[in-house]
Amino acid sequence: MIKSIENAGTSEAGVGAALALEGAAPIEVAAGAIYAVAGTDGTEIIDTDAYAEHPRWGQYSRTVRDARSFVAYMAKHANQASEIWVDSESAEVVGIVDAPAGNRKDEGWERHVIRLKLRTTKAWDAWAAFDRQLQMQVAFADFIEEHAADVEEPPSARLLEIAQTFQAKTNVDFESGTRLDSGQTRLEYKETVTAKAGQRGNLDIPSEITLVLRPYVDGPAYRVPARLRYRLRGSALSLGIVIDRPQEILDGAFEDVVTAIREGRHDVPGMPDYEGLTQNIYRGRP
């Protein structure tokens, strides 16, 4: 019978003690070597790799959060047998540095792995949480005011003006909304405060807005179309936004990250030649 002993102890003395099976005297051993020693229960296998200056093979697991770091790491450690796997569902890329090399004898152990786990930006998360959620006019206005910098169209000044108007028009009864030829929506209201009771007015708001959002940290930014939605319940007005196909935007952003990795892009100072891995992109889970 053969026993496998991966760590004979915490020092070279521990290795020597393990070799002293059945009363054998301790002897000096070569760190990093593998020894077979006869024992009462069969042959003992003792691996002293833990005491070598360098391990026989690397056992590393790394996680990075941006494509730049992933490319730099793979460019430093990868060889022609290394593999990169892509999981679109989880937006994850896995680089296996010591991948098996097919029929070659130098197959890897798959113990040296780096994972790219992308993080969505705070701006994307905020708009995604706000998507399709109708808010009372003040809450809507507060959000728009706080995130006006993410809006490309209409201009920020116009959007802030609309938000401030909503904040000011809390003592009105909204009566109707009409879609204008310009594409905007006109909301009609009647004042309810004592000094202006019965006074009527209207407010034109855009029916569509264009956001500029960066879905993933350190990734590219995209124009994101969204529609403004309103609802009248009696005289109360609630508003919200509807982002057009947000999952498709996320999927497209991930595809662009994968393309950047495939082409070895992301300017990394001093990065070695990455050309050998540019076609080594696979789909599915490793």
* Residue 101 clears pLDDT 80, i.e. is over it: no
CA distances from 204 to 72, 150, 255, 282 (A): 51, 21, 38, 51
Residue 5 has a pLDDT of: 43
Q: Across residues 75-85, what is the average pLDDT?
A: 81
The pTM (predicted TM-score) of the whole model is 0.67
CB atoms within 10 A of CB 133: 15
Q: What are the pLDDT digits (tens) for 106-148? A: 556 778 899 999 999 999 999 999 999 988 878 888 898 899 8
Name the nearest CA neighbour of 5 among 49, 38, 46: 46
* Residue 281 clears pLDDT 80, i.e. is over it: no
* Residue 220 clears pLDDT 90, i.e. is over it: no
Q: What are the pLDDT digits (tens) for 193-215? A: 544 445 677 777 788 899 999 99
Q: What are the pLDDT digits (tens) for 9-18? A: 445 555 555 5
Q: What are the pLDDT digits (tens) for 160-195? A: 787 777 766 666 666 666 776 666 777 776 776 544
Distance between CA atoms of 268 and 273, rounded to whole angstroms? 11
* Residue 222 clears pLDDT 60, i.e. is over it: yes
**pLDDT bucket at 237, cuts 50 / 70 / 90:** confident
CB 79 within 8 A of CB 56: no
